[in-house]
Structure 1
Amino acid sequence: MNLSNYTSEFKKNLRIAYPVMLGQLGHVLVGLADNLMVGKLGAAPLASVSLANGLVFVFLSLGIGFSFAITPLIAEADGEQDKKKGKTIFEHGIFITIILGFIICFMLLASQPAMHYMKQPNEVVELAKPYYQIIAFSMIPLMVFQGFKQFADGLSLTKYAMQATILANVINVFFNYVLIYGKFGFPAMGVAGSAVGTLISRFIMVGFMIYIIRTRKEFTDFVTRFSFNNIKKSILKKIYKLGYPTALQMWFEVTLFASGIFIAGILGTNSQAANQIALNLASMTFMIAVGLGVTATVRVGNQKGLKNYKELRRIALSIFLLMIIIDLLFAFGFILFKDILPTYYVDNQEVISTAATLIIIAGFFQLSDGIQVVVLGALRGLQDVKIPMRITFIAYWVIGFPICYFLALHTDLKSKGIWIGLLIALTASAIMLYLRFNKLTQKLIIEKNELT
């Protein structure tokens, strides 16, 4: 194998990926700012944000997963240089994400009473409720932004969503400071103030993307005579067929991690706070995987439009290799700084000690997590979503969840058991998804060779 065939693509992969990575970092930093600022109020407020966000992501993952269907369809149209097709997908994609925003908001508000049945500490539940209610309304602007983002990503114009999220992060930090602690004459709202800051920042994100798409020449061919009167059932059905398996893929993973949060809550406030620290740190490195996953979707989608399957496979493998190298570096960093990182969140020594152990395990699963994300992105670019949906269900819920539950609640491993289960689930997912990609791309290459 000639490595230069793959390493030669690193520069282009990173050029597409880095704005997504930085944009994702912006999203993660919103959560980090919430955790750091709320964490200064104590372990219970930090645990309440963890509980609320765990439940939010259960529903949000479905909406984001649906929106992911926009990117490969736009990328394919871009590869074909079919502007009319791209405009049609854009209009229908925005229509769907608006509807999804309202649906997710309603589902979150309706599900709030479920907090009382999750065996969480009463103090944590009471603090979580006002935060949760405000965050529910932020789903509407967030999903609209997601529609614009996936459209721009499909055109390889990933920098604009990055700029929007960086702007939103600055605004969120400011309003967190003002509203959590009661600065500049504002009332001290505590945990709820963090949610208000997030809500405001998400409306700013949407406004920024609307401005960019209406004023930048790269988007001119897609926004002319934009009208929801052009919505057609056949196009909605096409996006739905690609979107719902993608939504379920993400939902299976997010609900597994959310279940880990709830299990940690059963173990106690300190265990839940430690779990949140490790999860938040893992999320910060996950941004790299998301960026390269989007790159895989876009570049594979372009080659699919061109029907150049040999090149498609070579480009995808270059992204996988780059992901492995980056994740090995992150794994080393997690293990090296395990005792230092938790101290930036809380002063509680028990929480710090538990979190340090969890961070070691999180370091090991960096590799599996990164690989499964980029392979899923490549399969999404091929518009292969139903089999990967089944694979992720098996990996996360047939294999992963029972291990998390048993080791955490029926052995002395407790919180460590949750993360061992997550590591095994991610590893199983990575292996099975790669086998699927390998089989599918080899089949496409053979079939094209037979035709020619």
Structure 2
Amino acid sequence: MKKTYSYTQKIIQFFAVLLPIFITQLAIVSTGFFDTVMSGHVSEYDLAGVAIGANVFFPFFGSSLGIISGLTPSIAHLYGARKYSIIKFVIQQGFYWSLLLGLIFILAGFILIPYLLPLLKLDDYVSYVFTHYLIAMAFGICPIFLAGVLRNFIDALGFTKLTMFITIITVPINIFLNYVFIYGEFGMPAFGGIGAGIGSAITYYVNLLLNILVIINIKPFCMYKIFTNFPRPSFYEWKKQLSIGVPIGCTLFCEQSIFGVVGLLMTVYGTSVIAAHQAALNFTTLVYMIPLSISMAVTILISYELGAKRYNDVKQYAHLSRLFSLIFASGLAAILINFRRSIAALYTSNPDVIELTTIFLIYAVIMQVVDGINAPLQGILRGYKDVKITFYLAVLSFWLIGLPCGWLLAKYSTWGPYGYWLGLIAGLLSGAILLMLRLKIVEKKYV
């Protein structure tokens, strides 16, 4: 990254950071996409088991990675301020607490899942796929958390193309491993939906290895000598890092967990509705990578400019991010609404599930447009390190507005399961309005 002097230069630098992040994020979520699609072609029961497992797993997984992503604005700020000597220490301390976070994640899963199972009232086979998919995924938690620290280091210095290449390499590996373990190839037994968890967990180890190779061998990262002279754990530094990371992770949890809770509430409508809901939500997650990537890119750029104390440039990047996010989200939504039946057919050959998925996708497209407003605002505020208020606003909009509205519409109107999606849209829209108001307050501090 470098100082820019015009809007044209800012647009070029913005896309230089954004495009690799977008491809990286698309590749990351493709893990869940291929898990779901490939399991769905085994049976609707495998699809439902993996779908419910994903609803439980990914909100906690995503929020944990969100905690680790708090390293990005911190490192980018240090890089912009040219405080290079501190960066190594920050990353090494990040290794310590991210590994501990991974172990806590795994332990919590093994303790809590047995209590959750009776509440879900799943078919026996769906329950079997659900639990064993999660067990398989647990083996990949620690390596992907450690890889997350390295990824944030690479991104914070502006080398987002490298993380893009790393993730792109892992996608075909993940697809191949899914194929082997789901369908039983090359002498392996056919694990069905459980095989998706096995393939993904192995892929996480590959991702860690590739990140390590980059950090050791490629400049400027090798110059930091990250893997030498590890200091003792510094609980003071952990507190500093987690004071930024935890609110970010909690905000992501508020967003992602509400989708998981809605997925669990859908279980009362039967296996076909579960499968259709998850298929629509899964595809929406892919599309959401555009505003999410814009959010991540603007966090890096704003943190860098704040470190250099170029406040006018900060506001210009904020404006660009909001404009591009809304343009892309609206344009893509217009295209997707016309191809929703073809999209539904990607997930299953069951005509009833296809019909339900087609309807769910209409709501998903509306939600995508609102996300185009919401996501860049979050990225801008993270760049300012204004993360606590953002978390409180997420709780208010998703859990005190979105979920209650959805539950009321589902229970006491003719909308049925679609009422939950209307509630999600209401939560996102209220969140966007609140974030806009918060950004106006924060920007006044840097006038």
Q: What TM-score, normalized to structure 1?
A: 0.94
Q: 1:86 to 1:354 in 2, by over 3 A?
A: same
Does residue 125 of the first structure (1) align with residue 134 of the second (2)?
A: no
- Aligned positions of 1:80-95 closer than 5 A: 80-95=81-96
Alignment partner for residue 278 of structure 2, among 276, 279, 283? 276
Q: Which amino acid aligns with 2:238?
A: L
**Which residue pairs with 2:13 in the alignment?**
12
CA contact (8 A) 1:309 1:441 kept: no
**Which residue pairs with 1:449 in the alignment?**
none
CA contact (8 A) 2:91 2:226 kept: no
Residue ranges of structure 2 left out of the alignment (5+ in a row): none
Q: Which segment is superposed worse, 137-146 or 226-235?
A: 226-235
Q: Which amino acid aligns with 1:69?
A: G
Taking the aligned partners of 2:236 and 2:29, their CA distance within structure 1 comes to 36
**Which residue pairs with 2:216 in the alignment?**
214
CA contact (8 A) 1:19 1:162 kept: yes
Q: Which segment is superposed worse, 302-311 or 197-206?
A: 302-311
- Aligned positions of 1:185-200 closer than 5 A: 185-200=187-202
Q: Note the alpha carbon deviations across 1:353-395, whole angstroms, 9 max, x for none.
A: 1111111111112122132221111111111111111001000
**Which residue pairs with 1:333 in the alignment?**
335
1:345, CA displacement in angstroms? 0.9
Residue ranges of structure 1 left out of the alignment (5+ in a row): 446-452
Taking the aligned partners of 1:371 and 1:7, their CA distance within structure 2 comes to 23
CA contact (8 A) 2:138 2:201 kept: no
Taking the aligned partners of 1:5 and 1:264, their CA distance within structure 2 comes to 50
**Which residue pairs with 2:74 in the alignment?**
73
Taking the aligned partners of 2:366 and 2:10, their CA distance within structure 1 comes to 26
1:62, CA displacement in angstroms? 3.1
1:46, CA displacement in angstroms? 0.4
What's the secondary structure of 1:340's corresponding residue?
helix
CA contact (8 A) 1:296 1:319 kept: yes
1:215, CA displacement in angstroms? 0.4
1:56, CA displacement in angstroms? 0.8
**What count of residue pairs does the alignment treat as equivalent?**
442
- Aligned positions of 1:286-365 closer than 5 A: 286-365=288-367
Q: Note the alpha carbon deviations across 1:109-140, whole angstroms, 9 max, x for none.
A: 22221122124444321221111111122111
Alignment partner for residue 420 of structure 2, among 403, 415, 418? 418
CA contact (8 A) 2:410 2:417 kept: yes
1:227, CA displacement in angstroms? 3.4
1:230, CA displacement in angstroms? 4.2
1:86, CA displacement in angstroms? 1.6
Q: 1:347 to 1:225 in 2, by over 3 A?
A: closer
The percent identity for this pair of structures is 28
CA-based RMSD of the aligned residues comes to: 1.7
Taking the aligned partners of 1:182 and 1:15, their CA distance within structure 2 comes to 41
Q: Which segment is superposed worse, 366-375 or 165-174?
A: 366-375
Q: 1:261 to 1:225 in 2, by over 3 A?
A: closer
Taking the aligned partners of 1:293 and 1:117, their CA distance within structure 2 comes to 36
Alignment partner for residue 202 of structure 1, among 187, 201, 204? 204
CA contact (8 A) 1:300 1:316 kept: yes
1:319, CA displacement in angstroms? 0.9
Q: 1:85 to 1:316 in 2, by over 3 A?
A: same
Q: Which amino acid aligns with 1:282?
A: T
CA contact (8 A) 1:168 1:205 kept: yes
Q: 1:306 to 1:193 in 2, by over 3 A?
A: same
Q: Which amino acid aligns with 1:19?
A: P
What's the secondary structure of 2:190's corresponding residue?
coil
What's the secondary structure of 2:445's corresponding residue?
helix
Q: Note the alpha carbon deviations across 1:73-110, whole angstroms, 9 max, x for none.
A: 00101111111122222111222211111111111222
